[in-house]
Amino acid sequence: MLDGSRPAEVQRLQRMLATMVHRGPDDEGTFCEGPVGIGIRRLSIIDVAGGHQPIFSEDRSKAVVCNGEIYNYVELRDDLIARGHRFATAGDTEVIVHLYEEKGADCVEDLNGMFGFALWDTEKRRLLLARDRVGIKPLHYAVAGGMLLFASEINALLVNPEIDRTLDAEAIDDYFTYFYIPGARSVYRSIRRVPPAHTVVWADGRPTPRRYWNLTYRRPGRGRGLDHYADAYREQLKRSVRLQLRSDVPLGVFLSGGLDSGSLVAAICEVTNRPPATFTVGFDNPSYDESPYARATARRYGTTHHEFRITPDDMRRSGDLIGHFGEPFGPFTTVQAYMLSKYSRDRVTVALAGDGGDELFGGYQTYVATHLAPYYLRLPRWLRVRLMRHITRRLPVSDRLLSLDFMIREFLRGVEMFARAGNLAWKVIFSDAEKNRLLTDSFRRDCGRRDAFDDVQAVRALAADATRLQQAMHLDLSMFLPDSVLTQTDRMSMAVSQEVRVPILDHEMVEFSATVPDQFKIHLGRTKILIRHALTDWLPPQVAGKRKTGFTTPIPIWIRNELAEYVGDILSPAAVRRTGILRPDYVQQLLAEHNSGRADHARRIWAAVHFMLWHNNCLRK
């Protein structure tokens, strides 16, 4: 926190830190000097005994606290020592303050890691906030009562009475569009996120944001063949894994049964020749269960393998977990992610996960849809409308994961939004027309006349010269990945004091992915061509060749059966009406159509469930 009018209060800092003990149960540190106060709850991973924070420069004129890890700290440290800097610890965070002495705010450009940090410069009377390139670690801030307040989680900011708790209607509208709140917004007007790849400098009473990195795509051309890129991918992965294995505490791998997590196990064994502990979640429904594939990879490499299963009863934890997000957050998989971390935490403090492979190398069927959409949209509109009505009425609704009927329905539903939403059209939860039926008139007036896809247009502008496929992947990398996937990974692992690292999202791997020609990612409906080719000798054939199913949960089935009463109680007409935001009649219609098997409204229903849980359990506190 930074207060320009009075000395910082250590008691205020301690109240904020008390909300985040789960993020750092091992240590607490504070620093208050004049108007500035910074604090940290530490999960000790590197230099367990000596890495107490805040960490200072030699003359104590600069102080830093960091959430996350700087993976290339050994190389940076050696270089800084050669330049004459003296280190007081053996940890990774100290390189930040010495690098700042060399380069100022540009120090972030030398960091390889996942981080959200705050650095106070006494001499320049300025505070630097910084977040890693792809948004693996969170960082929020608010200006209130003449103060700048910042924290890893929204709840830490809300303990300050000066924070304006007025809801941001546009952010809630975005939540029902995307399943999460994208970009710099939060559910509160006064609280903002530091975006990925940004710094925010607070000086002279105002924050100044700056983007320090953006991904540059290479236009496809005649270049090297698939074997060259496969070799380069394997080398990049081994380099990234080698860096991210740096830890002074036990480490394992979340093994889903797919390509990306399997590649981490293979790479670890390549660089260390020591099989890691692996952890897999399974389901009784075989359509959703990837545990046999995970077991095959574990056997291939002789890992110490652990499996457990998720049941419908586990989903009732949602009400307790939603508070860790501080705002509405909808994905089915929050409980699944939490249980995976909770189950593995007794054995490992750090886990590696395969997040990012789909966004970088073309793993989603939505990229196939992106290729097909322009051709479909050339048909006359009257014919498209007729096709939509005819096909959706005649197709059955299947409970199988990624069934043909589901993919056809979703393609037809999303394709009409493609021009505005790009690839995210197939991730939209409620369309504009559906939100008009879901949200009350008074709330819609608060939203004003806005386009929910304004953020999409801003992100597209950053990759204006890229191919259509590159633009689609850039949207996922810039919005879906940090604001949904990585947000879930961070909050649910930190809820049990576990650190999850994502080697595929090493920024050098991200930059490498942008050089790979489109035809080596997706071609004729085949996804992840490069990765499958690269891993042919690394993974069992049934894993390397399997269709992607993804990290998901059988919620559509459970809502109709085991969770019907639970969901019905949360979405009762009286409870929904009390929000003043949702229309109970439309919510009941969604439930009736889903439970009868006439439609699959699982994502829309679960978005409403998680909104209600946040509204009832968190907003009223």
Query: Could you tell me the two tokens for 255?
Result: 């093994």
Q: Tell me the H-state helices in 439-478.
A: 441-447, 454-462, 468-475
Better-predicted residue by pLDDT, 35 or 84: 84
- Please give the average per-residue pLDDT across 139-159, as a whole number: 94
Taking the C-alpha atoms of residue 617 and residue 500, their distance in angstroms, rounded to an integer, is 27
**Residue 85 scores a pLDDT above 70:** yes
Confidence of residue 522 (pLDDT cuts 50, 70, 90): very high
Question: Hey, what long-range contacts does 103-106 have (CB within 8 A, 24 or more apart)?
Answer: 105/130, 105/199, 105/201, 105/210, 105/212, 106/212
pLDDT at 584: 98
**Residue 204 scores a pLDDT above 90:** no
- Please give the average per-residue pLDDT across 120-134, as a whole number: 96
121 with 105: CB under 8 angstroms? no
pLDDT at 220: 63
First-to-last alpha carbon distance for the chain, in angstroms, is: 23
Taking the C-alpha atoms of residue 260 and residue 543, their distance in angstroms, rounded to an integer, is 10
- What digits encode the pLDDT tens for the residues 318-330? 989 999 999 999 9
Non-local CB neighbours of 441 within 8 Å, separated by 6+ positions? none
Confidence of residue 620 (pLDDT cuts 50, 70, 90): low
24 with 39: CB under 8 angstroms? no
**Residue 314 scores a pLDDT above 60:** yes
Residue whose C-alpha is closest to residue 495's, from 505, 503, 487? 487
pLDDT at 24: 96
**Residue 553 scores a pLDDT above 90:** no
Non-local CB neighbours of 49 within 8 Å, separated by 6+ positions? none
Q: Is the pTM for the entire model greater than 0.75?
A: yes
pLDDT at 401: 59
- What digits encode the pLDDT tens for the residues 453-489? 988 988 998 888 899 999 999 999 999 999 999 999 9
Q: Tell me the H-state helices in 283-380.
A: 291-301, 318-321, 334-345, 357-361, 365-376
Taking the C-alpha atoms of residue 27 and residue 55, their distance in angstroms, rounded to an integer, is 13
Query: Could you tell me the two tokens for 558?
Result: 């459970």
- What digits encode the pLDDT tens for the residues 283-307? 888 878 899 999 999 999 999 999 9
**Residue 402 scores a pLDDT above 70:** no
pLDDT at 69: 97
Non-local CB neighbours of 369 within 8 Å, separated by 6+ positions? 411, 414, 415, 423, 426
- What digits encode the pLDDT tens for the residues 370-398? 999 999 899 888 888 887 777 767 666 66
Residue whose C-alpha is closest to residue 247's, from 501, 54, 29? 501
154 with 188: CB under 8 angstroms? yes
pLDDT at 611: 98
pLDDT at 451: 86
| Residue that the structure tokens 């509160």 belong to | 188
**Residue 25 scores a pLDDT above 60:** yes
**Residue 8 scores a pLDDT above 80:** no
Q: What mean pLDDT value characterizes the chain?
A: 93
Query: Could you tell me the two tokens for 367?
Result: 């990229």
Beta strands at 140-144 and 147-151: parallel, antiparallel or unpaired: antiparallel
317 with 338: CB under 8 angstroms? yes
Residue 145: CB atoms within 10 A of its CB come to: 13
Residue whose C-alpha is closest to residue 260's, from 361, 125, 145? 361
Taking the C-alpha atoms of residue 198 and residue 346, their distance in angstroms, rounded to an integer, is 35
**Residue 181 scores a pLDDT above 90:** yes
Confidence of residue 406 (pLDDT cuts 50, 70, 90): confident
Confidence of residue 403 (pLDDT cuts 50, 70, 90): low
**Residue 399 scores a pLDDT above 70:** no
All structural domains of the chain: 2-211 (3.60.20.10), 224-361+481-621 (3.40.50.620)
- Please give the average per-residue pLDDT across 39-55, as a whole number: 93
pLDDT at 388: 75
pLDDT at 5: 63
Better-predicted residue by pLDDT, 173 or 286: 173
pLDDT at 564: 96
Annotate 84-109 with b (16+ C-beta within 10 A) or e (fewer).
ebeeebbbbbbbbbbbbbeeebebbe
**Residue 1 scores a pLDDT above 80:** no
77 with 84: CB under 8 angstroms? no
Q: What is the largest CA-CA distance in the chain?
A: 74
Length of the chain: 621
